[in-house]
Structure 1
Amino acid sequence: MNAQPTPTLGVSQCLLGEPVRYDGGHRREAFLVERLAGHVAWVPVCPEAVLGIPREPMHLVRENGVLALRGNASGTDCSEPVHWFVQQCVTTLANAGLDGYVLKARSPSCGLQVQVANETNPSAGLFAGELVEALPDLPLIEEDALAAHNTREAFLERVFAHARVRALFATPWTPADLVRFHTREKMLLLSHDRAGYDQLGRFVAQAATQPQEDVARRYRRRFMGVLAKPASVGQHVNVLQHVAGHFRDRLDPSRLTALHEAIDACRQGEHLVRDLYAQIRAMARELDIRWVGEQSILTPFPQELLTEELHD
């Protein structure tokens, strides 16, 4: 398996333990600081810090169809300096090579689902909304969603995939490089969306006849679009059966039977899919089955991040 490039992640600064909140405190997120920090480069941002620390806590209101920030007690409109900062910051971030972003839940600037005064439906905060509009393919997550290991691992998978495809197109590349990249990503794509997998394969086959800039832009968008669709157990079973075919002539009958029994156990929910991928990775290395061993789905992100133990 090729070495993983180091992703660049934007993050709400308070989540790294920085004292930038309205009261001079922070909301340190243990997984980010203790686990993820060793595998990524951070770009910390706190849009509200432009108002100073400490500052009055704020909430969102909608005025003439536009979101605004108002002080909870004073009612003071604090929007202008934050809007100015957000516009400058998002422009910078769009050129920073980000691979994902971890946002502070319920923050009137950084939250993805924030209560707006006198409205039933939540809205993205001032900064989060601009970020989504400027970088629609960027993997995003709020920090409270990191507590569920399935959600956390799905986010990490997309972040590291984004870093890989960004690294491919960051240096001079050829259609043959794209074919090699796509070959390594095939089973990961198939685990998310069979139709998208097929369409992207056809796109790669025609890439040599298209302008490189268009190919890079369209491939990256389609690639991340496929990965944005949730992977199901059934789709993983389909991938596992496909991969098992590469072992048909290399495993003795008893081990091949055991492999298919393990796949069936995954289908029944009696065996963790990720554990079986780890076993397949070991068997591919043992038997020197290069095509299988190089599939990114076997190691979509550093295995140390699989741990479910989080510390306060």
Structure 2
Amino acid sequence: MTLTTDTPRFGLVGTGPWARRTYAPVLQAHAGVRFAGVWGRRPEAAAELAAGHGTTAYADVDALFADCDAVAFAVPPDVQAPLAERAAAAGCHLLLDKPLATDPAAARAVVEAADAAGVATAVFCTMRYAPDVAAWLAEQSATEGWFTGRADWYGALFSAEDADAVRAATPWRADRGALWDVGPHALSMLLPVLGDVVGVTAGRGPGDTVHLLLRHASGASSTAALSLTAPRAAAGAAVEFRGAAGVTVMPEAGPHQDAPAAAVDVLLHSARTGAPHACDARFGLRLTEILAEAERSLPEH
């Protein structure tokens, strides 16, 4: 379903921290869209968010989908997937959060629904939309001869003084941990350069830390370190590739305030041209499949 309107109607599903702090302000300020409305599982939160951004709170999510050309999702992954199916069936282009789902079958259903409806999709793996990092990643993807790589995502989300409040605000992260929260970020950087994953083994570290050992279709190997319980002083993200061309390191990861607006632009471009983006729902499905395999390989203790 090709997008033809100059100013598409963009809806928002979710009222949590990501919706409030990121998507609502971005959609309100974006010159290329009209922020058409908000739906949330807590009607009072949806009403408050809508009032603060000059848009409409919807009591019925399907009514929101019917009134929109595109929808951004800011809800837990296993809430997102079935709603995204319904949005696609209603003809909405989809800006999806990562992970797409934690169950490969649920993620596959989103892909199938989007394909059946002919709608565009984009999964918001942050660094893929940060202009400086995206340019660096494209350069490495065009370079041959990589031997190995690593992606380290050390977060302190559950080590901070307000950790209990964070767990209460986003309980799915406390339940599923770093593997599912920051694992998609790490994989989204490694796969474009080293190729698809053909084997993964996972091991446990302190707290919710998980270490991945990956084999890629190119013959290269990589590692990923994932945590939400690192000490605050140890937090940070790093990506490195080593090969025949030497060693290259991801540009310093800053706040990347431009990334959400860039993701909106990417989705709109894909919707208008029919050309899928590399970080679309099909790629999101592959990330879910790899993370599910990694989870199965984790020792219990």
Same fold flag (TM > 0.5): no
- Greater fraction of residues in helix: 1
- Greater fraction of residues in strand: 2
Higher relative contact order (CA 8 A, sep 6+): 2
Give the structure-1-normalised TM-score: 0.25
Q: Which has the larger radius of gyration?
A: 1
